[in-house]
Amino acid sequence: MNTDNLHELIDRYESKIDKLYNEEHDELFKWRAMKTWRDEWFKPETSFSSFAERFAAAKKDFLLFIDNSRMHPSSGVLKLWEKEPDTVEHLFKDVLFADSGCDTDTAQNHMDHFLDEYDSLLKKYYPRNWSYKQDRHSASVFMAMNEPTFNYVYKSNEALTMAKYVDFGFDIGAGKSFSLKNYYRLADEIVAALREHGSMLEKHFERLHAGDYYIDDSLHLLAFDLMYCCRTYNYYKGLVMPSTGKTIKRGKTGGAANAEELAALTATKEAERAAKVEALEQEIIELEKSCDGCKDISLLGVEVTQTRYGIGTVIRQEVNKVTVCFADGVEKTYTLDKKYPARPRFENDEQIVEAFTVYGQAVERIRSIRREIEQLQFNNS
């Protein structure tokens, strides 16, 4: 693992800590959300008349922690509770929040079981709704709120980007291949590194103690916030990637007049090439941000309608490509893009298709940029 890069990222976080924690960016809302959750969720049974009342009070400071303009998983919890209150309460208290004994395999089993059962409940009552779905991120937030000294908040893009830049030696995976154990290994490594930065921790806890925040001595929430802020504010910019093992060859010198002129010309060209590559890599980062969250939108099991085939259900998905099973077992695959009018229609169709249209355009541009970068690197070899 490249601990030099990890410590550099922590230094960059510390250098921006006043900006991160000010009223404009308010990244401290995560610690406020955790305090509110724990203050309300663990009140005596007689404090609330129902699970829904307790849940609503506990999550009132979540802000954008799990809900955003597209996805509303916490609202979905309350809507499903209206249909089957005992089942929803059971899924949280007896499944997601079941005692794992601090064993990551057990914790992942609880998470997987919760997501499967919740998805079945959603299909039963809101088969066309995709915005109420829970995913590993939302489930991890609830788990971290419930037991913050063992669990970590997880978000796929943030975790995978950090793992890449610090050359983490284990595969975190994604989707069905996701490994909670390996993600917690990465997060544990980050916590260990954070504990070596006394001045940063002093600033951090000074701000926590000055406000109405959860005092997280485990640093588990800070480990997630480091991953989140490094990607959101691009603290990776200019950071040297771990070695790929490839050797960059020198270009042919040609017939330069003398060694000094040749060196100056080579340095100029290299500076121009490096600046171009950096600009292109920055454009990729911005494009990836523009379609953030699309990879986390699961449409599996969602009911759709299509002009020719009628009502169907999404049975496979690769981000913006879905396979729908219609009556009599007819299966059709579609790309979700405004330019394809024959695609199936979803609940809140305009919103979901707009998101995936932007995603598709961004992916195509990213592919083009990567080819351009490869060509620049090839020409320099």
Instruction: Give tens-digit pLDDT for 207-222.
Output: 999 999 999 999 999 9
- Highest average pLDDT, of 148-157, 233-242, 251-260, 297-306, comes from 148-157
Q: Per-residue pLDDT for 246 more than 50?
A: no
**What pLDDT was estimated at residue 64?**
78
What does the alpha-carbon distance between residue 247 and residue 330 come to, in Å, rounded to a whole number? Answer: 51
pTM: 0.80
Structure confidence by residue, pLDDT tens digits, 254-285: 444 567 777 777 777 777 777 787 788 778 77
The pLDDT mean for the chain works out to 89
- Given a cut of 60, whether residue 252 has pLDDT beyond it is no
Q: Tell me how far apart the alpha carbons of residues 3 and 195 are, in angstroms, rounded to a whole number.
A: 13
Q: Per-residue pLDDT tens for 17-61? A: 999 999 888 999 999 999 999 999 999 999 999 999 999 999 999
Residue 298 has a pLDDT of: 85
| pLDDT tens readout for residues 77-99 | 999 999 999 999 999 999 999 99
In the chain, domain spans: 3-232, 269-381
On whether the 269-381 domain is CATH 2.40.128.130, my answer is: no
pLDDT at 58: 96
Say yes or no to pLDDT of 73 above 70: yes
Condensed to tens digits (0 to 9), the pLDDT of residues 123-170 reads 999 999 999 999 999 999 999 999 999 999 999 989 999 999 999 999
